[in-house]
Structure 1
Amino acid sequence: MQMLNKKVGSQTVKLANPPKIIATYSIVGPKEGQGPLREYFDEILNDDTLGKESFEKAESQMMFTAISETLKIAKLKETDIDYLFSGDLLNQIISSSFAAREFSIPFFGLYGACSTMSESLSLASIIMDGGFANYVVATTSSHFSSAERQFRFPLEYGSQRQQSSQWTVTGSGAVILGHEGEFPEITHVTTGKVKDFGQKDANNMGAAMAPAAVDTIVSHFKDTGRTPSYYDIIATGDLGVIGKELANKLIEELGYDIRKQHIDCGEIIFDNEKQNTLSGGSGCGCSAVVFSGYLYKRLMKKEIKKILLVSTGALMSTTSSLQGETIPGIAHAVAIEMK
């Protein structure tokens, strides 16, 4: 059987039939709604419990809402959707699986830590490009209180946060991919490699993830022959202030300067000084809501036309941290272009 080789370079796929992002929805918590991007979010919660008994149930409800509202925007029924790609930070990705049980949609559960938004978009795009689906939903979520309880300390403990710490975003973003209409297209997928430079400090996620972001971005340039100036925006997921600066320096050492194009979703979602979020935001929901809210709306208005979304994740667990393990990082990139 003859295969159409869509591979470009070592880590990138060029999609022959680029899927279009036909609808998005972003729902965020009260703190995110007080930040600089408030006008771009579709829904801002007054109560981050959503009236539920636990923060974990609230997080799953956020994702359910994001998926449901995106379907309404696209004027589709759940029976029109061929696959749901979703993941989150909680053990056994319960936010995703518990939200998925409310829909009659074939489900792929993913875990890429905070890189999961780009991971879900990557796999959904490849499925679409291969002709295996007409519509696919890609989504993820995170919640400050559920993440704190799992990865750090209960909120009641009142632990002091370090300057390098980041604030897990309470939010969920959902995206629907289709084939028709004048919408932004996903043209390239660059799959990341796990990188570990020996960082052990769980309070400095940016430093742990920066090497993976650097590797994926530089690999994307090498594979495609593109330069930073090709893009209006290169958006990393949640490196925060510290991780973003580290990534810029490392990329510069490798011969590329992305400072003019580079934004970090974790840096811009909060006013770090006024909101006391230290190095910025993090979590699966960080790049999800910044893309599905802020970046997508700017693409649709044609204020920007080409972005490289590079969601970043720290592949740690509570067990590995307690055992003194280092923190591996991962970053996946999708090129999104408004023709």
Structure 2
Amino acid sequence: MEQRKGSTILFAKPASIDAFAAVGGKKECEGPLGKEFDLCDTDTMFGEMTWERAEVAMQRLAAKKCLEKAAIEANKLDMVFAGDLQAQCTASNYAQRDIGAPMVGLYGACSTMAEGLALAASFCAAGYAKHAMAMTSSHFCAAERQFRFPLEYGGKRTPNSQWTATAAGSVLLAPNGKGPYVQAVTFGRINDMGIKDINNMGAAMAPAAADTLLRFFSDTGTEPADYDRIFTGDLGAVGSTLLEQLCAKGGKKLTNHSDCGLLLFDREAQNTGAGGSGAGCSASVLCTYILPKLVRGELKKVLFVATGALMSTTTFQQKESIPGIAHLVYLTSEAGSHS
């Protein structure tokens, strides 16, 4: 029977990750993880006429490749949890026209992959789904003109700004399988420390990441050192520093922390400022770096904590502060126990 401790749900029978796939654009595939992507496009258009349609194509390709790896048809999907950064999650909605499975649309900004993964695992662990998919995406060009400036404007980026990934990730879960496994999930709470700078997402999201991590450690009675690695996404260089300071202040020193925004790109060589961001960033790093290492046994126990800045174009223009949220997924290479 599933057990809840505080904010954390511990699964008596953990859901298995049966397949995963990642699709990336030109810059992503030129980065440190480029060779690990399942599919790449050298012009980031994916054969489409607009950036928004290119993102739809990315999600569709990621889902197709994931299903191919699992050797199942789309009609076997009991539920899809999908989201993106486009207004009203249109990239996900349009991609699902071709997939045709029952769908729950999500908006958690950069936290969407962890949110979808946690929900899909919960459905599988509870017996509500035999096959559940979590997927998300982002596209640099679509996101920039929606949240910041038209690309034609040519505005100079601030040093603490992050580069929205052009990428998509898809993960297929089932109640039984060879793993990796989702042992537990912690759904985050809104944190708002009054940050209003849309170019400083790391600072807006770091408090939420610290809050979720500290709650998880308290709920489970564990320490950061009990895990091989703690991955956040996507705090970048600024947010990662703040996270470690906040956790230390809360009595938990992080010496094994990595951020997906700092793994996807070579910041200096690729000129990506404080690192990567976007819903597709943590999703693609999960599928190209974290899960493969769990499959190979190079990592045994991992915390995947994706973070999101939950502003909109309207709230930003109205000078509102930026709420942050972070969802945590505890992954293991073997079924084992929660400890």
Per the shorter chain, which TM-score range?
over 0.9
Encode CA deviations 1:29-72: one digit per residue, 9 max, x unaligned.
11011111112222221120112111000001100000011000
Q: Is the partner of 2:99 in helix, strand or coil?
A: coil
Partner of 1:198: 194
Distance 1:87 1:16 in 2: 28
Match for 2:303: what amino acid? L
The alpha-carbon deviation at position 5 of structure 1 amounts to 5.8
Q: Is the partner of 2:274 in helix, strand or coil?
A: coil
Match for 1:183: what amino acid? G
**Is 1:24 matched with 2:20?**
yes
Partner of 2:286: 291
1:62 counterpart (46, 58, 68): 58
Q: 1:5 to 1:75 in 2, by over 3 A?
A: closer
Runs of 4+ in 1 over 4 A off after TM superposition: none
Partner of 2:307: 312
Partner of 2:103: 107
Unmatched 5+ residue regions in structure 2? Answer: 335-339
What is the 5 A alignment of 1:121-132?
121-132=117-128
Distance 2:222 2:180 in 1: 19
Unmatched 5+ residue regions in structure 1? Answer: none
Q: 1:18 to 1:5 in 2, by over 3 A?
A: closer
Match for 2:4: what amino acid? K
RMSD over aligned CA atoms reads 0.9
Distance 1:53 1:203 in 2: 28
Distance 1:173 1:40 in 2: 12
Distance 1:306 1:286 in 2: 21
**Is 1:116 matched with 2:112?**
yes
Q: Is the partner of 2:326 in helix, strand or coil?
A: strand
Identity rate of aligned residues, in percent? 47
Q: Is the partner of 1:57 in helix, strand or coil?
A: helix
Q: Is 2:9–2:185's contact at 8 Å kept on the other side of the alignment? A: yes
Distance 1:101 1:5 in 2: 34
Q: Is 2:7–2:186's contact at 8 Å kept on the other side of the alignment? A: yes
Encode CA deviations 1:239-261: one digit per residue, 9 max, x unaligned.
000100010011001111112x1
Partner of 1:174: 170
Q: Is the partner of 1:22 in helix, strand or coil?
A: strand
2:138 counterpart (111, 130, 142): 142
Partner of 1:280: 275
Encode CA deviations 1:263-303: one digit per residue, 9 max, x unaligned.
00001111101111010000000100000111111111111
Q: Is 1:116–1:313's contact at 8 Å kept on the other side of the alignment? A: yes
Q: Is the partner of 2:18 in helix, strand or coil?
A: strand
Distance 2:38 2:253 in 1: 33
Partner of 2:244: 248
Encode CA deviations 1:208-254: one digit per residue, 9 max, x unaligned.
00000000011010001111111111000110001000100110011
Partner of 1:301: 296
1:157 counterpart (148, 153, 159): 153
Q: Is 2:7–2:216's contact at 8 Å kept on the other side of the alignment? A: yes
- Number of residue pairs the alignment of both structures matches: 334
The alpha-carbon deviation at position 129 of structure 1 amounts to 1.1
Distance 2:23 2:65 in 1: 10
Q: Is 1:41–1:294's contact at 8 Å kept on the other side of the alignment? A: no
Q: Is the partner of 1:89 in helix, strand or coil?
A: coil
Partner of 2:320: 325
TM-score by length of structure 1 reads: 0.97
**Is 1:6 matched with 2:3?**
yes
Q: Is 1:40–1:297's contact at 8 Å kept on the other side of the alignment? A: no
The alpha-carbon deviation at position 180 of structure 1 amounts to 2.9
What is the 5 A alignment of 1:11-90?
11-90=7-86
Q: Is 2:24–2:39's contact at 8 Å kept on the other side of the alignment? A: yes
TM-score by length of structure 2 reads: 0.97
Distance 1:109 1:6 in 2: 26
Distance 2:242 2:175 in 1: 38
